Amino acid sequence: MQLLDGKKVSEDIKNEIAAEVKKMKDNGEKVPHLAAVIVGNDGASLTYVASKVKSCERVGFESTLIKLPSTISETELLKKIEELNQDDNIDGFIVQLPLPEQIDDQKVLMAIDPSKDVDGFHPENFGKMALDMTTFIPATPFGILELLERYNVQTAGKHTVVIGRSHIVGRPMSILMGRKGFPGNSTVTLTHSHTKNISQITTQADIIITALGVPNYLKAEMVKDDAVIIDVGITRVPDETNEKGYKITGDVDFANVSKKASYITPVPGGVGPMTIAMLLKNTLLAREQRALRGQ
């Protein structure tokens, strides 16, 4: 069994990006600038956004954090997004989800300029991804592809089972694993809450990508020997033995499944760090594309 070490690979990617940014600086070019919009005071979101800002500093990007009150109206938020769309200094930006209930997430994502949508959530970017065109791939699926590629995990002709059909992970992953090229060319089954006899499907899988958010959902008896296991789940489970009062747990019963797997991602330290690294990669791509357009 080999660990797919997202922590290590994400550091490699950040070093590569930092080297690119240094070249830009040395050539007197504008360096990438990422902005993050956060609405309200959700603890997990604040922590996550803070780590994104810290990662920007680490690779030499400029970054802007825009904190807005949870009481903000949809109209005001859309106005702020339009300002960011028009701001030539900003190459890419994200709006941290979830948003307060008075705001329609879909409306907000639709308002972001697709050329600055480094999260890859805009329908234009999602459509391009589905058609194998160059675009921003959502950061978590992009990170999974990168892990598979860097560990040279073979995907062609393999049976990939994706558990969960969210627009952020499950659905894009099912499209990407079936595309031509590497990683890809696998036969994909997308499972979800209405799937019957899920164990019959997972036990036939060469690769399982689970993004459910249900701690320890995938058990050893649901997995065949030498399967590749990608765990996107990340849930805080109460744990009094831990000083924080909780532990971070994935969708996979790691202790038992790891005994059967050929490759497996740990939680934490697997897919999570890759997500931030690929968001930075998308921002670098956004800057390069804007430079080509003379912006």
Q: In the predicted model, what is the mean pLDDT of the chain? A: 96
The pLDDT of 52-68, averaged and rounded, is: 96
The pLDDT of 110-126, averaged and rounded, is: 97
pLDDT at 137: 98
Strands 235-238 and 246-249: antiparallel
| Three-state secondary structure call for residue 191 | strand
- Nearest in space to 89 (alpha carbons), one of 61, 127, 70: 61
Query: Within this chain, do residues 175 and 237 fall inside the same structural domain, yes or no?
Result: yes
pLDDT at 48: 85
What is the C-alpha separation between 126 and 174, in angstroms, rounded?
Answer: 13
The reply to whether 91 falls in a domain is yes
Dump pLDDT digits (tens) for 68-112. 999 999 999 999 999 999 999 999 999 999 899 999 999 999 999
Query: Does 248 carry a binding-site annotation?
Result: no
Query: Does 234 carry a binding-site annotation?
Result: yes
What is the C-alpha separation between 74 and 66, in angstroms, rounded?
Answer: 16
Largest Cα span, the chain: 59
The pLDDT of 129-149, averaged and rounded, is: 97
Range 264-285 burial, b when 16+ CB lie within 10 A, else e: bbbbebbbbbbbbbbbbbbbbb
- Nearest in space to 2 (alpha carbons), one of 233, 221, 195, 229: 229
Query: Within this chain, do residues 145 and 268 fall inside the same structural domain, yes or no?
Result: yes
Of 65, 96, 113, which residue constitutes the final position of a domain?
Answer: 113
Active site residues: 52, 96, 119
Split at pLDDT 50, 70, 90, the class of 58 is very high
- Nearest in space to 295 (alpha carbons), one of 126, 85, 117: 85
pLDDT at 220: 98
Split at pLDDT 50, 70, 90, the class of 44 is confident
Question: Does residue 47 register a pLDDT over 90?
Answer: no
Q: Which domain CATH number covers 90?
A: 3.40.50.10860
Question: Does residue 45 register a pLDDT over 90?
Answer: no
Query: Does 166 carry a binding-site annotation?
Result: yes
pLDDT over 90 percentage in the chain: 94
Dump pLDDT digits (tens) for 225-265. 999 999 999 998 999 999 989 999 999 999 999 999 999 99
**Cβ pair 183, 177 in contact under 8 A:** yes
List CB contacts of 150: < 8 A, sequence separation 6 or more: 9, 12
Q: What is the pTM of this model?
A: 0.95
pLDDT at 27: 97
Of 113, 147, 162, which residue constitutes the final position of a domain?
Answer: 113
The reply to whether 76 falls in a domain is yes
Question: Does residue 131 register a pLDDT over 90?
Answer: yes
The reply to whether 54 falls in a domain is yes
Q: Which domain CATH number covers 197?
A: 3.40.50.720
* Total count of domains within the chain: 2
Give me the domain span that covers residue 244.
Answer: 139-272
Question: Does residue 37 register a pLDDT over 90?
Answer: yes
Question: Does residue 147 register a pLDDT over 90?
Answer: yes
**Cβ pair 94, 65 in contact under 8 A:** no
Q: How far is CA 233 from the centre of its chain?
A: 12
pLDDT at 146: 98
Burial (CB count <10 Å: 0-12, 13-18, 19+), residue 183: buried
Sign of the CA dihedral running 111, 112, 115, 120: negative
Tell me how far CA of residue 49 lies from CA of 41, 45, 54, 78, 254, in angstroms.
Answer: 11, 6, 9, 20, 27
Query: Within this chain, do residues 101 and 172 fall inside the same structural domain, yes or no?
Result: no
Query: Does 165 carry a binding-site annotation?
Result: yes
pLDDT at 173: 98
**Cβ pair 266, 76 in contact under 8 A:** no
